[in-house]
Amino acid sequence: MNVSHASVHPVEEVPTTEGGVAVAEQQNVNVPMVVRMKDIQGMPGTVGGLALRVSQFVFGAAALSIIASTNDFSSVTAFCFLVAAAGLQTLWSISLAITDIYAILVRRSLQNYRLVCTFTIGDGVTSTLMFAAACASVGITVLIDNDLDNCSYNHCVQFETATGMAFICWFTTVPSFLLNFWSLASR
Q: Which of 18, 49, 23 is nearest to 119 (CA)?
A: 49
CB of 59 to a second copy, least distance (A): 18
Which residues form the interface with a second copy (CB under 8 A)?
Answer: 6-7, 32-34, 75-78, 128, 131-140, 142-143, 146-147, 178, 181-182, 184-186
Nearer to a second copy among residue 97 and residue 131 (C-beta): 131
Q: C-beta of 14: minimal distance to a second copy in Å? A: 21
**CA distance readout (Å), 21 to 44, 99, 104, 127, 141:** 14, 19, 14, 29, 48
Query: Which one, 94 or 156, has the nearer CB to a second copy?
Result: 156
- For residues 99 and 163, which CB has a smaller minimum distance to a second copy in the complex? 163
Q: How far apart, in whole angstroms, are the C-alpha atoms of residue 27 and residue 23?
A: 6
